[in-house]
A = this chain, B = another copy of it.
Amino acid sequence: MTRFEHEPEKNSEGETLRQSLEDYIAFLGDLVSHELEVILPTQWMVPENLQQAMKYSLMAGGKRLRPLLVIIACEALGGSREAALPVAAAIEMVHTYSLIHDDLPAMDNDDYRRGKLTNHKVFGEATAILAGDALLTHAFYSVVQASRKFGVPAESVLSIVEDLAEMAGPRGMVGGQIADMEGEQGLTDLEQLKYIHLHKTGDLIIFSLLAGGRIAGANEHQLEALHKFGTAIGLAFQIQDDILDLVGDEGKLGKKTGSDVKQHKVTYPYFIGLEASREEVKQLTETARNAVLNGGFHDNQRMLEIADYLMARDH
């Protein structure tokens, strides 16, 4: 049995002690990183260079927010943490592939991400494109393992596959990315910006919550609550990003602020101002909290904590 750095302690009765949210997040991050190591193809059959390129970006120190949401939603509905891990790993692969492709010279042309060289700067463009393709494809393999390894019913896993294809595909994240690219030539209203946020960022967050719920066997009412929660925190998360880019602490963020203004990117504060944007984040967090409180969940605690945590974050 693997031991993890942030594993929760037990009391003298052998009961697991409840962790602070920060420790809990760090512990789940450990679990997800371990699952990613397990699920990544490492056979001699896969060219070494491709393995390295996939691993490089997966292990580049992301926040693991989406996997965290899969697990928290699953546990909130009384599901097993272990059964959520293959899907948690999958959504991190999808998120990572989207970053690799986003950073390419033909797209955002970024040399650094989170202080490390971007994938194509290390492995070359061709390998970076293929590593992204490989991660996206392998994500679906990982989803299926929820059924193979943990006996999640095929019907539920098939719905997760369908959701992932829907929310990461042309009607979801990729659609949002295209709209974002086209929007760089000038967005005219807040509705367009909302469309971009919902699909480019929100859809994968909503997916993560729904998937966690499906693994736990959530009913329609519970899935709807998760959807509401995800839509609200997804948008709040993005507005908070816009705010931090304007007034955040560069040291904490690990990147330069003011890039949106410099790139003439329209943002929430650009449209409605800084104070109204902060108010919007608060409102959305309230909406998210209410969705949880009325969702009929097994345990609300971590869901409420994560909503507050995302609102208060400074990086």
Binding site for B on A (CB under 8 A): 41, 43, 45-47, 49-51, 54, 97, 101, 104, 106-107, 124-127, 129-130, 132-134, 136-141, 143-144, 147-148, 153-155, 157-158, 161-162, 164-166, 168-171, 174-175, 177-179, 181-182
Contacts and interface: CB of A to CB of B under 8 A. Distances in A.
B46 A175 contact: yes
Contacts of A165: 137-141, 144
B136 A161 contact: no
Contacts of A155: 154
B125 A106 contact: yes
A50 B199 CA distance: 14
A104 B130 contact: no
Taken together, the copies of this chain in the complex come to 2
Interface SS of A by simple majority = helix
Given A127-B178, A154-B154, A182-B47, A161 B144 contact: yes
B130 A171 contact: no
A86 to B, nearest CB: 12
A174 B50 contact: yes
Given A144-B161, A154-B158, A158-B158, A178 B50 contact: yes
25 contacts: A46-B171, A47-B178, A54-B170, A107-B129, A127-B181, A130-B174, A132-B133, A133-B133, A134-B174, A136-B136, A137-B165, A137-B168, A137-B170, A138-B165, A138-B169, A138-B170, A140-B165, A141-B162, A141-B165, A143-B161, A144-B158, A144-B162, A153-B154, A154-B158, A157-B158
Contacts of A174: 50, 130, 133-134, 137
Given A43-B171, A158-B158, 13 more contacts: A46-B171, A49-B182, A50-B170, A106-B129, A107-B126, A107-B129, A130-B181, A134-B170, A134-B174, A140-B165, A141-B165, A141-B169, A143-B161
Nearest to A175: B46
Contacts of A148: 162
Contacts of A134: 169-170, 174-175
B133 A136 contact: yes
B137 A169 contact: yes
A171 B140 contact: no
A162 B134 CA distance: 14
Interface pairs A-B: 4 shortest CB-CB: A106-B125, A141-B165, A137-B169, A154-B154
Interface centre among A133, A148, A175, A177 (most CB of B within 10 A): A133
